[in-house]
Structure 1
Amino acid sequence: MAVPAFLAISGFLVLKSLLESGSLFEFFGKRILRVMPALLFSFFLCLALFDWSMAWNSILNWATGGLYTLPMRANGPLWSLLWEEIAYIGLALLWSVGAYRHPTAIWALLLVAIGIAWANSGLDPHARMLLFLPVAFLVGNLMYIHREPLMRINPLVPLVAIYVMIQWRYVPDAKSMGGVNLLLVQAFAVVWAGIAGAKLLPWRIPDISYGVYIYHWPVLAFLSDRFQITSLSGLLFWTAMILVPLCIFSWYAIERPALTMKRHLSTFGRYFSRDGAAPAE
């Protein structure tokens, strides 16, 4: 369940971004600068590698959250971005009413979201996935709120949590609660490993995770269609050979330059009031 894992990470990072912003205007401005430039480039990539129909259908897939697309190929992963953007709005609304000053309110919302996802476990897979997203996002929120004790743990422990997540399928009734229990383990383990786990590389790498997420499908489809590469090993190798340089290019040529514009947002944002408060630890 890659999409809920991304939403859990987003729940952590976006709450941090909101609390570091001087206003909601600045917060949403930063979100637009982070999401839209690479997203627009992904539409261009679909056009360059395929045709107008795939580019247009990819736009529809993003704009409708996967609920409506034409009967032709689209960049599949883009459907989840709309729901993440809706989560930003929900986060801002909760912050505006002071919910994050009371972590018990966020815990209560998480329990409600879990109950709804569990009660509707008989829905089709896409509908169930949509119900998983608020659960994952709220887990990320709560891990940011309680980040200090989590980050004091030995950095090897979060990696053990990742191992437990990988082996979870062998646990009896691993998919009980309609898969919600697996979702909770995954969301917690992924975020925890990201914020407190042992660093596996001794150097910093560019932030290419977003690029990997939105560019990988067009690259895979292009290799499969145009070069008839169908073996798993071949697709993984050649996708990595193309995708990593593409994402590095995107980071340095598109994403990072766009993010430098964030410094101008506070100038405009001072005209907007800020009434929220940081959550209790």
Structure 2
Amino acid sequence: MPLIRKGICVPQINSIKLTRYPGFDLVRLLLALEVVVAHGWPVIDPTVGWPGFIMAVPAFLAVSGFLLLKSYATSGSWVIFTKKRALRIFPALVTSFVLGFLLFDRTFVEASFIMWISGGLYDFPGLANAPVWSLAWEELAYLCLALLWTVGAYKKPIFIWALLAVSSALSAYVVHSGLSPLTQILSFLAPAFFVGNLTYIYSLILLKLGNILPWLFFIGICWWGTSSPPVLQAFATVWAGMAGRQVLPVRIPDISYGIYIYHMPVLLYLTVVCGVTSAVTLITLMIATLIPLCLASWYLIEKPFLRLK
């Protein structure tokens, strides 16, 4: 039976393996690698505009909708939850600013900082670590979850269903109005987050469906591509992540965040400063640089800070 804790139906999963949801390690890694390819390919060949298999930023926020609700439900207080999130986000973020300063200059750091705090709404001229724009919306999601929890919205899933319906309707209006691509992406974030919330709330039911069907569904959505409904993309991502199967034979370090936050400074340095124009050379150098950089960040910076939780 599920546990009732602080007004929410918290799934009681006795297995440590299932509680970890190891599928999220692989899902987030795949999303991060997709972002690297989607950003790197057009730099070498401007005629290419590959959007990816699924929209990565909404998918990341859907994963957060699941894991953040799980974290909040088990933290016991807003203070503990905030501390956990700060220790996960800020050490690598600050390191990315330092990396940008070392590879470029103070202007790059300033542009990246503004890109982050503005959520991408202000485009600072010049080079910047553009992907950090999404972190502002991730942090806003933390606040929204806390507010919804405080007003008791998670006591009855019908409220989250209603928020999903309203946010999806607004997103559909934005898309059909032909607004800017950034505005459209932003409109997908709230529905994706609520999909993650609901997937956590109903995780016990979904786990009964096994761990093969979720991955088949995820692969099918990836095959369909970014033209598939954003809500289905969000659900497919989270369902595969929480399915319970450890697809890889060994546990991989959680370097997806590092890949996401460090790849742009490395990419810009290789192409703008070093003048790399060959796709093969760029891919080789990106792999040779990012893997040790992200592993070093995980073991020397991110993981030690996480121990302070």
TM-score by length of 1: 0.86
**In the alignment, what sits opposite 1:7?**
61
**In the alignment, what sits opposite 2:88?**
34
Shift of 1:234: 3.0
Query: For residues 245-276 of structure 1, what are the alpha-carbon distances to aligned partners after superposition, in whole Å with 9 as ceiling and x for unaligned?
Result: 111111111111111111xxxxxxxxxxxxxx
- Hey, what's the Cα distance between the residues in 2 that align with 1:163 and 1:22? 36
**In the alignment, what sits opposite 1:245?**
292
- Hey, what's the Cα distance between the residues in 1 that align with 2:184 and 2:288? 34
Give 2:101's aligned amino acid. Answer: L
Shift of 1:197: 6.0
- Hey, what's the Cα distance between the residues in 1 that align with 2:216 and 2:132? 31
Q: Which runs of 5+ in 1 are unaligned?
A: 176-180, 263-281
TM-score by length of 2: 0.79
Shift of 1:131: 1.0
**In the alignment, what sits opposite 1:193?**
240
Query: For residues 75-94 of structure 1, what are the alpha-carbon distances to aligned partners after superposition, in whole Å with 9 as ceiling and x for unaligned?
Result: 01000100110111000000
- Hey, what's the Cα distance between the residues in 2 that align with 1:76 and 1:5? 18
Shift of 1:60: 0.6
Find 1:78's aligned residue among 106, 129, 132. 132
Shift of 1:154: 2.7
**In the alignment, what sits opposite 2:215?**
159
**In the alignment, what sits opposite 2:116?**
62
Q: Trace 1:128-167 onto structure 2 (pairs within 5 A).
A: 128-167=184-223
Shift of 1:235: 2.3
Give 2:284's aligned amino acid. Answer: F
- Hey, what's the Cα distance between the residues in 1 that align with 2:101 and 2:83? 27
Is residue 61–residue 79 contact of structure 1 (8 Å, CA) maintained in 2? yes
- Hey, what's the Cα distance between the residues in 1 that align with 2:281 and 2:94? 28
- Hey, what's the Cα distance between the residues in 2 that align with 1:50 and 1:165? 39
Find 2:265's aligned residue among 213, 218, 241. 218
Number of aligned residue pairs: 253
Give 1:115's aligned amino acid. Answer: A
**In the alignment, what sits opposite 1:21?**
75
Give 1:98's aligned amino acid. Answer: G
Identity of aligned residues (%): 50
- Hey, what's the Cα distance between the residues in 1 that align with 2:212 and 2:282? 32
Q: Secondary structure at the match of 1:196?
A: coil
- Hey, what's the Cα distance between the residues in 1 that align with 2:283 and 2:244? 26
Is residue 77–residue 217 contact of structure 1 (8 Å, CA) maintained in 2? yes
Q: For the aligned residues, what is the CA RMSD?
A: 1.5
Q: Secondary structure at the match of 2:127?
A: coil
Find 2:253's aligned residue among 186, 194, 206. 206
**In the alignment, what sits opposite 1:279?**
none
- Hey, what's the Cα distance between the residues in 2 that align with 1:238 and 1:11? 34
Shift of 1:191: 1.1
Give 2:72's aligned amino acid. Answer: L
